[in-house]
Each structure stands twice: as C-alpha cells, then as structure tokens.
C-alpha cells in the first residue's frame, strides 16, 4: 500500500469544506479543514505535515493573496491548488505560482480530484 497523503482544505463555506472532505476521504486521503486564513497557517506551520492545500482565496480573515504569499514564502515546496471562482482572480500574478487553479463551477469536484491525484502522484515518485 502506498503512502497516505494529508490534504488541508480551506474554504469559508462550511458546506463546501464538508463536501470536499467527503470527496477526498473517499479518494483515500487524510483530510484536515480550515475555515480561515489563521487556521490555514496554523495547520501548515504548527501541526502535522500537510502534503497539499486546497485553498479558496476568499477567506474571512485574510487579504486575497496574503495566505498564498505566506505559504509560498515559508513552505515553497507545499503544493497549493486554488479552488475559487476564476473571475475573481483571473489575471492575478500570484495565482500563477499555484500548483493548479480549479474554478468553482458545476461539477468542479471531479476536476479537483484529478488535479490533486496528479500532483500527489508526482510527489510519491520523488525520492
């Protein structure tokens, strides 16, 4: 059996967090949840190791790009998948540094699961 990856899911909407948690648990990942920018940073800096972050940039206690910038500065190897409404951040330069961008629309969870599997699949191949 391969390594079990831990994903941190952050979204201001509790229903979205819980939905994504169920979907990612079904894929075999360990899941942690964060409802604010402060919680994202606490998990990333002070708790167990996180392998990937699914991040909605619209968190209640953080400026749009502050969390992404802090994660990139402190843990540059941590893959961040931005899961948000594309129109909000379409041409923002900081978004280009993310591992991936998945727009919230229709059945975006299937695309999100595929992107996460691809990124973590590459990590499992690293020595």
Q: Which residue ranges of the chain lie beneath pLDDT 50?
A: 1
pLDDT at 66: 80
Q: Which two tokens stand for residue 26?
A: 């079904």
Which token pair is 62? 């953080």
Class of residue 48 by CB neighbours under 10 A (exposed 0-12, middle 13-18, buried 19+): exposed
Structure tokens, 94: 């900081």
The residues facing 80 across adjacent strands are 53
Instruction: Give the model's pLDDT for residue 13.
Output: 92
pLDDT in tens, 37-71: 999 999 988 877 899 999 988 888 876 678 888 88
Q: Which two tokens stand for residue 85?
A: 């409404």
Beta-carbon contacts of residue 28 (< 8 Å; ≥ 6 apart): 4
**What's the rounded Cα separation, in Å, for the pair 82 and 59?**
12
Domains of the chain: 6-125 (3.40.50.2300)
- What's this model's pTM, rounded to 2 decimal places? 0.85
- Annotate 58-105 with DSSP letters as a single string: --TTS-TTHHHHHHHHH-TTS-EEEEE-HHHHTT-GGGGGSSEEEE-S
């Amino acid at each position: 059996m391969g390594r079990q990856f831990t994903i941190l899911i952050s979204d201001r909407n509790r229903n979205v967090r819980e939905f994504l948690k169920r979907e990612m648990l079904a894929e075999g990942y360990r899941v942690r949840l964060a409802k604010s920018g402060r919680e994202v940073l606490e998990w990333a800096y002070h708790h167990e190791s996180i392998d990937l972050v699914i991040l909605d940039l619209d968190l209640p206690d953080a400026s749009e790009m502050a969390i992404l910038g802090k994660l990139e500065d402190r843990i540059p190897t941590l893959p961040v998948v931005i899961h948000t409404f594309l129109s909000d951040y379409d041409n923002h330069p900081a978004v280009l540094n993310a591992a991936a961008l998945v727009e919230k629309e229709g059945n975006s969870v299937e695309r999100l699961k595929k992107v996460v599997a691809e990124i973590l699949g590459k990590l499992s191949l690293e020595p």
